[in-house]
Amino acid sequence: MPTVRRDDKDSDGLPPKRLPQRWAIIVIISTIAGASADAIGGPTAALAASIGIAAALHSLIE
């Protein structure tokens, strides 16, 4: 009977890599920007603000 291998660790024995902290910062700030833009200009402005801020922070925080 075949067994299922658990992916708790990589092949080298280390725990799996997690996303860096900068992704959390980008998501939090772009969400705040989108929420404030939604309150002022509606969903189109919220989407544009979220994507714009996320793209700018992605290039700035490296």
Asked if 30 contacts 50 with a C-beta cutoff of 8 angstroms, the reply is: yes
Evaluate if residue 18 carries a pLDDT over 60: yes
CA distance 10 to 21: 20
Band (61; pLDDT cuts 50, 70, 90): confident
Distances (CA, A) of 33 to 1, 10, 24, 55, 58: 53, 37, 14, 12, 15
Is the pTM here over 0.75, yes or no? no
Question: Using the 8-state DSSP alphabet, how is residue 23 labeled?
Answer: H
Evaluate if residue 22 carries a pLDDT over 80: yes
- Between residues 11 and 41, which one has the greater pLDDT? 41
Give residue limits of the domains in the chain.
Answer: 21-60
